[in-house]
Structure 1
Amino acid sequence: MPADQAPIPVASTFLTLQSGDSLARIALTGAEPLVWRVAERDLLWTPDPAYWSATSPILFPLVGWARNGEIRVDGRTYPMGVHGFAASKTFDVVARSANAATLRLRNDPATHAGFPFHFMLDVTYRLDQDALISMFDISNPGTEPLPYALGVHPGFCWPFAGGAQSEYSLHFPRDERAEVPIIAPDGLFSREARPIPLKDRTLPLSPELFAREALCLLHAASPSLSFAHKDGAAIELICEDFPHFAFWTKPGAPYLCLEAWTGHGDPVGFTGDIREKPSMRLLAPGDVARHAVTFRYHAPVYSNGHEE
């Protein structure tokens, strides 16, 4: 996408994409998917401030918590909230069709107050009959390396195909470690780990599993995962250059977040420059990095060959 492309005027606070009987609604604030509907089935959850006031925020230029809510650059400190600032910024629309759109966020004086780097983030959504594809192009128009982390944080209805929450599980195509890092009370990542009931590439789900904290699979072997009901209905996440997964909900909430990250929160005790933080990417001046995530819905198939 050309960097000098003029924004397209939009008369609403969101865009609606359609493909057959599938629909997606994308907010201009945060370029956040608000609705993903396949065959009249809503798959993204509707926010409830009692649990969580977002639906599917984009995490940029940080993922997770920074120590003391600040980053350090060349000996100076800058305020930085959890997961960065992209989710609260208004994106420009620079391309649009019936089933696709590209939204753009650039650095400006407000972003420089907390993140003194030049960047351009293009987010392209394409809606297919059974899938919502998200592509992220991060450009560095500056003269020094750009440190960044990127993540997606979609909250899916749980349950999304009926039944109890305990009838759902996560499935991985490759073997994964059955342990996750212990997260400190301030959101930082400790060096300690705890076991999770992951066996034979399957993680049974229950609200109790998330009573302590989010589950983070760092450096996952699998490039995808499936959030599945016992009847075969599933939401699949297929990732391109997102090496970490995280799973989170609040006990009693009717959603499950299936997150994909390039980076993660500060390690406990980290006091270095943001460019030295483990898991941060450094993008050279003039370069562009591409990341992508596809959400794909798989309907259950019954004896008559159709979804019930």
Structure 2
Amino acid sequence: MKHTLQSDGISAMINADGAELCSLKNSEGRELLWQAGPAWPRRAPILFPIVGRLKNDQLRDRGKAFPMTQHGFARDREFTWRERGAKSCTLVLTDDSATRLHFPYAFRLAVSYEVEGAHLDVGFEITNTGDVTLPASLGAHPAFNWPLLPGLAKEAYSIHFSREEPEPIRRLKDGMLREKGEPTPVQGKILALSEQLFWDDAVILDRPASRSIRYAADRGPAINMEWEGFQELGIWSKPPSAAFLCIEPWRGFASPAHFDGEFLDKPGIMKLAPAETKILKCRIGIG
């Protein structure tokens, strides 16, 4: 089941399957979100309870191994509607017998969407409903059309960071985080975009100074994103010729290539005490 939110400057459609944003249009009705396709069959999946991959696609907990595929299971589960209104909605996923085959922890994940003006606010509320520590990661993975304005060259676009980003970036090998970083392609505050940038998979900023970006060319629509609670940022496309750009605030990342330990000890995860709740936020604005 899908639900549409509408304001004066934006409309958004949300699907109960995966609590996924599946349409984002400006006031002129122009679709800005990638509409799936052969190059990549998703639009804006939610990554939970992991971001990226675990070694051998296995989650290790207290001596047992559980199968856990890339980016976790939330994107493939149907969420329950808690609230549906003209400008906001909330969906919820809780643990059950199916999730516990992969993830032996109790949790509640609530995802909220709200439109106001030309902004879409997305909130993620994670609660530990069990009696042991809940380790988890979470990521947003929206794919925007690239180019946003048909006919413009992909190379006309860049990402403008709110702060300079001099730190090395990280890359993946076989889905695992490489041990060493490499020089950043960000020049000051600007990342020039091209398909060549993604021949070696995603660009990962594991220590971004910025908490907001602007994705734009010198004309046509632009996307502004800002986030709270997320600590890493992934930027990804799928060459050759995939017409989307993913801008992904993360709280967590793929396992380092050398790590094959207990999930509770995995670098980058959140740890929630029993009854604790963590809230992460993302705002998408249309310029």
Distance 1:149 1:287, change over 3 A: same
Amino acid at match of 2:11: L
Instruction: Pick the aligned partner of 2:270 from 276, 281, 292.
Output: 281
Structure 1 residues 178 and 204: CA distance shift in structure 2, 3 A: farther
Higher Rg: 1
Aligned pairs (5 A) from 1:227-306: 227-231=215-219, 233-251=221-239, 252-298=241-287
Name 1:171's counterpart in structure 2.
160
* CA shift for structure 1 position 258: 0.4
> Which SS does the other structure have where 1:112 is aligned?
helix
Comparing 193-202 and 28-37, the one that deviates more: 193-202
Equivalent position SS for 2:98:
helix
Shift of 1:233: 4.0
- Give me the identity figure in percent: 36
Specify the alignment match of 1:132 in structure 2.
120
- Answering whether residue 147 of structure 2 is matched by residue 159 of structure 1, we say yes
Aligned partner of residue 197 in structure 2, secondary structure: helix
Could you tell me how far apart the structure 1 residues matched to 2:99 and 2:219 are?
A: 46
Following superposition, the deviation at residue 21 of structure 1 comes to: 5.5
- Contact preservation (8 Å) 2:9, 2:118: no
Shift of 1:135: 0.4
Q: Find the residue that maps to 1:275 and give its secondary structure.
A: helix
Q: Partners in 1 of 2:238 and 2:186 — Cα distance?
A: 20
Partner of 1:191: 179
> Partners of 1:107 and 1:274 in 2: how far apart?
17
Is the 1:182–1:189 Cα contact (8 Å) retained in structure 2?
Answer: yes
For 2:62, which of 69, 74, 82 is the aligned residue? 74
Distance in 2 between the 1:189 and 1:264 partners? 8
Determine the structure 2 residue equivalent to 1:222.
210
Once the two structures are superposed, residues 139-192 of structure 1 have per-residue CA deviations (whole angstroms, 9 ceiling, x without a partner) of: 11110110010000000001113411100001111121353223112x111122
Does the residue aligned with 1:166 lie in a helix, a strand or coil?
helix
Q: How many residues align?
A: 284
Q: Secondary structure at the match of 2:171?
A: strand
> Residue 18 of structure 2 contacts residue 75 of structure 2 at CA under 8 Å; is this kept in 1?
yes
CA offset at residue 196 of structure 1? 3.8
What's the TM-score once normalised by structure 1's chain length?
0.90
RMSD in angstroms over aligned alpha carbons? Answer: 1.2
Deviation at 1:41, TM superposition (A): 1.7
Q: 1:296 to 1:286 in 2, by over 3 A?
A: same
Aligned to 1:302: none
CA distance in 2, matches of 1:219, 1:109: 36
CA contact (8 A) 1:43 1:157 kept: yes
1:96 and 1:159 map into 2 onto residues whose CA distance is 32
Q: Distance in 1 between matches of 2:204 and 2:10?
A: 31
Segments of structure 1 that go 5 or more residues without pairing to the other structure are 1-12, 299-308
Q: 1:228 to 1:208 in 2, by over 3 A?
A: same
Residue identity in the other structure for 1:205: L
Conserved 8 A contact 1:226-1:234: yes
Tell whether the 8 Å contact from 1:38 to 1:129 is kept in structure 2 after alignment: no
Could you list the structure 1 runs, at least 4 aligned residues long, displaced by more than 4 angstroms after superposition: none
Q: Which runs of 5 or more structure 2 residues have no equivalent in the other structure? A: none
CA distance in 2, matches of 1:125, 1:65: 27
Check whether the contact 1:178–1:197 (CA below 8 A) recurs between aligned residues: no
